[in-house]
Amino acid sequence: MSLMTIIYRIFFAFYYFFSLPIHMFRTRGTAAPISIKTLFIQKILGFNRSAHWPMHHSSLVTNPRNILIGKGTAPGLSPGCYIQGIGKITIGDYTIIGPNVGIISANHNIYDYRKHTIGSVTIGNYCWIGMNSVILPNVILGDHTIVAAGSIVNKSFPHGFVILAGNPARVIKEIDPALCNIFQNPYVYYGYIPEKWFNWWKKLFLNDDLD
């Protein structure tokens, strides 16, 4: 980490500390609320410290520099999640991730378990990934995809507007796009980062090839 990056981190930490009540107020009642408890456990005690979004202490994220989250989403805020960022992971706006969900971007090489075969995962906007589901490498889920609890998703459904269930997951119902609510939070945050700061944050702290 460069000296300039460290200076930026210190500056941002001071800014955030003195403006924390504002961020807590603006995100209360959303799916990704900012709280003193979560910040203390994450940033002071060190559970998932590198993630720039709120996470539960029982969840685990690896390589968060490879993970791009959208507005109002916080993968791993529900307990027991595993977000494996060996490859790239992109999660869209206002997507909800339930408890004990696994999002896996790389598999072990079948000929040498010490190595990984790296892939990627893309989850669209306004998706809902149900409890105990697993999203495997190279899966693309389009907008408004619902994954039922306990499902294993091993192939892509890029067009979205479907409900998936089973092992392996398959389409059990299509969703009418005309009935879907395209909502926006009054104040836009990318995890802990206000919208006005996010492009700056992304250039400094996330990998360059995330888009």
Distance CA 28, CA 180 (A): 23
Examine the residue annotation and report whether 116 is marked as an active-site residue of this protein.
Answer: no
Q: Helix, strand or coil for residue 151?
A: coil
Single out the catalytic residue among 23, 108, 144, 159.
108
- Strand-strand pairing, 106-109 and 112-118: antiparallel
Structure tokens at 65: 């520099």
CA 112 to chain centre: 29
The stretches of the chain forming alpha helices (DSSP H) are: 3-27, 36-39, 195-205
211: nearest Cα among 85, 84, 95, 89: 89
Q: Catalytic amino acids?
A: 108
